[in-house]
Every structure is written in C-alpha cells, then in structure tokens.
Structure 1
C-alpha cells in the first residue's frame, strides 16, 4: 500500500507557513485522523525543528507527527508562543502529559543548559521516544518522570485510543467502546507536589495535557502552585474522535467539570484566559482572551492559560491580553 507522495511537493510552502497552508493540508490529506489509513505505510523521517533547531525523528504514519513534519514545528502554535514569551535561559519548565516530548524539546531549547525541564509521561513507549530525542540532541537538562499524576498515589490503567499516543487517558468516558482502545498499560500514579519539591529550583511555566485528568493533577499540585505561582496551561476540554459514540465526549462527560478547575484555581488566586492566536499580516501572534465563570464551561478554546498576579511571567504576557 502506498501513501500520498504528492503531498511532499508542498513542503516548501507549508514549512514557510504561507497563507492557506491549512487548506493544502486538507487537500493533500495530511492533517486529519480520518486520513490515517492512507499513511499507514509512510516512513520515518528525521528533520530539524524550524524554531529550536533540535533533531526530530518523526513517524509519518502518525497524524500529529506528520503534521509536525510538514510544518517543521510542533502544531500547537499558541502554547509554544506563550512559552517563547515566558521562558528564558535558566528557567524551569514542567511538562505534564509529555507524550513523545515535542513541548519538552521546545522548552529545553528555551531554558538552555542552565535551566531544567521535568517531563512527566506514564506511557512507557512515549518515554522511550523522549529518551531517543534527548540522546539524539545530547540534551542533559531534562528529567523524565515515568509516572502519571493525580491527587493520590495509585496504579491506574492508561488507555490509548485510536492507535495514537497523544490520546492516552487515565479515565474513560461512558460510551467509549473497547474497539477504539488500541493499547492498555498499568501505570504508577503519583502526587506532583511530592516529586517536584525534590528540586528547589523555581518553576516558571507548567503545562498540563492529560486528556480529561487535569483536575486531579492540579489538586496534587496545590503546594507547587502556592509556592511558585507559575504560568499554567491546561487543556480546556477533551473531545476524542470516537465514531462509536454519537455525542461528543468532553471533560464534563467524565465528571471533570471545567467549573471545578475554575473554582480550584480561583481560590489559589489564578485567573483564566483563552489561549489562542490572531493573524497579523502573514503571521499568527499570541492572544489571551479573559474567561469568566459564566462562560468557561462553553468556551471555544482548546487550552486555558492561568495567570497569577504574582507570577514572574505575568509582565511578559500582559501585552497579549485582549
């Protein structure tokens, strides 16, 4: 079985992110999960990230890695733009739900050898990929924690949906059938505060993407948030593509109501912003949209950025608030 080789003709265009590259992704069947079967025989290719210059070995049969290959950077643009503003040499990043390490790599470049990155990922296969990236780029200032995080210590089942490591979850919403679960791992789960306090270096930026488990992770980080008041980015909702379920599955379907996160963060002094971008001329630039209690549950944003008035990253981000 072959794969869409003609798609490689548009690489010079997509790597420069010229206007309309998203439409080309669709036209050449590059970007979406529904085209996954067309790329099953695609090879693995190594490229340098167009921003941080680290080498990345990418499996083109995986839709997110394919997306990264054709852009030359990880696809999560708004998150990386926020990191660019906040993180400097010598800082500390915590990447929770690191998957194969795209954000870990980006953060490692920003904080440099004098900085530190804590990378949390319970999927052993993903951890091996992160190790390969670190070895490939001779990165020494990243520590991999091969555990999940919660508000209690436990052993839980990590379920991988649709053969995609980025859709690994420690909680399965009602209605998801066994045929969409491609792998299961029994993984250790720890409390973030217990692990992070082992290093006294202040935390500047904390990213959480754990497919609907964000609230429990945050509860286990209460002391960390009180102590360092880092900039925090969390996934706003989780809507896995599940063809066997007619209704969408969000955090609310799993008992993970966004209002719980809102009230938890608010009592710690944090305010939420929709994390997004706005086009200016040919480029997209960071934008932060204030979110209130009345509309956080129906937010259109994929990610929230939580900002504390005493956060050391506050000044760098204030100019992007709309």
Structure 2
C-alpha cells in the first residue's frame, strides 16, 4: 500500500475503509507513521477512515492542499491554520516555512488538540503555537459537536440529534487578535461550515496583511451554520480577493499536483476547496506550477 502504485486508493476505499469493517477498526487506536510529504511523524487514528488513509498512504488525503502549501509557502513565512485537526496542514506548512517561519494552529476540540500538540512536540517544532480554541467575532464559550464517526467533521453548527456524537464546551478567541501578527502569508480555514463567519471575524487581518486564504466550500455545511456560498464569496469580494477552486490533477502515473480554475458561485456543482488570492497577485498565482505529491 505504501509503494504508490496506481489504484491503491480504490483498494483503500473498497477494503480497508469499507463500512462493514468499522467494528474491526473501532479500538485500533492511534499510530504514528513518518509522512512522505513532509518527513515528520504524523498521528493516525485508525478508528476513523481519515486516519487509516493517512496511515496506509503515508500522507493525508488532500494531496491538492498539500501541493499548494508546499508551493506557495516560503521559508520564513507565517501560516495560520484554523481548524487544524491533527495537523495535516500544520505539519506540511512546517516543512515549507522552516524553522525561521511561524505557525499558529487553532483546534478547539480538546482531545484532538492534545494529539496535535503531541505531534508538534514529537517532531520538535518549536515555531508552532497550538491554541485550543475556535475563532469568532468575539471571545466567549460555545458548544462544539463532534460526530462519533469522524472527529475531523466537528462543527459549531451541527445538530447533535441527527448524528451520533458528543458535545464539548469550547473557547472562542476574538478574531481581531490575529491583527496582532506582524505578518501573515497564508491562512487555511476548514471549520465545517463556519468559514464565512471566521472570514468576517478576521477581515481586518486579511485586509491589512493580504495573505493567501484557502477554505472548504460545502453549501450544506455553510447553510447549517447560518451562511451560504454567496455570503462567503461576497466577504472575499469586499476584500478584493479572487477565488480559484482547486483539485488534484494527475502528474504522471504516481503523482498528483494541484490544479486551479476560476471559482464561479453560480456554477458550483459539487463540494470543493477554494484558494482566495489578493487580486493584485491573482495572475501570478493562477500561472503557478504546483509541486507534485505522490498518489
């Protein structure tokens, strides 16, 4: 499974991640494996399907996001990871920015934040600041619902009655605190539908420091949290940003690389990730050739 042969993703989906085998994996627990993309020890919770993907592929599932981070982040840059989970983007960004760079990682789920913190310490990443909180328009506390099937889908807007899981009381950090950064080069936001609210909360930082921003864009998740795809797009339009949806493109038989195309709200027909680029940089980023990631 770790040799990168074509079709290994299908084997992973159809056998290892077949829902019929969930009971087998339920108590498998946490394992560590050295990641192919960044070279750090990465935590893999084998009780959930995303952890098994990471363990068997030696990389997290989103090859396109990792391709973008390794291409657009430079040594010495500052990266902010909002909704860091166990560290896919944080560890990838750490490799890109190097020891002279800085990473601020927000993860409100206390159990997941503890895993992320362990990964940071295990890999000796002294330039990573893990903050156990969410980001919002003002400081306070709220409830975070964590689905039983996948802690990576925890949300501030999920209805606990529709899915098995647990709720945690968590801290919210005032988004204006990010404005205290003297530089910010890239912000990743993956918060299961709360993206538009986070963007509004940190708009001062975006307007002043003009970082690249990536967000997940899933209409049903946004609506569950009281916003829409249009709301998110308008927020970036007011900040003079251009959106590019991105996805995996084959780069030979054994590799992927990220591919960009213009993001148009009215033509969105599926869940996607979007890279939001300051308009003054859109042409340069659009023409970038992204680094390859092994399948």
Residues 1:116 and 1:317: Cα distance change in structure 2 (over 3 Å): farther
CA-CA distance at 1:289 after TM superposition: 1.2
Counterpart of 2:257?
A: 285
- Find the aligned partners of 1:169 and 1:55 in 2 and give their Cα distance: 27
1:245 corresponding residue in structure 2:
none
Higher deviation after alignment, 33-42 or 185-194: 33-42
Shift of 1:42: 2.4
Structure 2 residue aligned with 1:271: 242
Higher-Rg member (1/2): 1
The 3 A distance-change label for structure 1 pair 293 and 108 is same
**Is 1:190 equivalent to 2:173 in the alignment?**
yes
Q: Distance in 1 between matches of 2:116 and 2:283?
A: 30
**CA distance in structure 2 between the aligned counterparts of 1:101 and 1:278, rounded to whole angstroms:** 23
Alpha carbons 1:274, 1:301 under 8 Å: kept: no
Indicate which of 47, 69, 73 corresponds to 1:61.
47
2:189 is equivalent to residue 208 of structure 1: yes
Q: How many residues align?
A: 289
Structure 2 residue aligned with 1:94, among 61, 77, 80?
80
Instruction: Using the TM superposition, give the Cα deviation of residue 253 of structure 1 relative to its aligned residue in structure 2, in angstroms.
Output: 4.4
* 1:78 Cα offset (Å): 0.9
> What secondary structure is seen at the aligned counterpart in 2 of 1:234?
strand
**Pairing 1:166–2:152 present:** yes
Distance 2:106 2:227 in 1: 21
Selected match of 1:260 from 214, 231, 234: 231
Task: Name 1:3's counterpart in structure 2.
Answer: none
For residues 224 and 257 of structure 2, the distance between their equivalents in structure 1, rounded to whole angstroms, comes to 32
Distance 1:225 1:180 in 2: 35
* Contact 1:121/1:147 (8 A) holds in 2: yes
Counterpart position of 1:22: 9
**Hey, what's the Cα distance between the residues in 1 that align with 2:117 and 2:156?**
22
Q: What's the counterpart of residue 45 of structure 1?
A: 31
Q: CA deviation at 1:55?
A: 1.0
Q: CA deviation at 1:37?
A: 2.6
Query: Where do 4+ consecutive residues of structure 1 move more than 4 Å?
Result: 32-35
SS at match of 2:16: coil
Cα distance in 2 for residues equivalent to 1:46 and 1:153: 34
Shift of the 222–33 alpha-carbon distance from structure 1 to 2, 3 Å rule, reads: farther
- Structure 2 gap ranges (5+): 291-295
Q: How far is 1:316 from its partner?
A: 4.7
- Residue pair 1:86, 1:204 contacting (<8 A) in 2 also: no
Is 1:157–1:170's contact at 8 Å kept on the other side of the alignment?
A: yes
1:241 corresponding residue in structure 2: none
Other-structure match for 1:300: 270
Q: Relative to structure 1, is the Cα distance of residues 92 and 306 closer, same or farther in structure 2, using a 3 angstrom cutoff?
A: same
Aligned to 2:293: none
Aligned partners of 1:147 and 1:235: how far apart in 2?
A: 19
Q: Which runs of 5+ in 1 are unaligned?
A: 1-10, 239-248
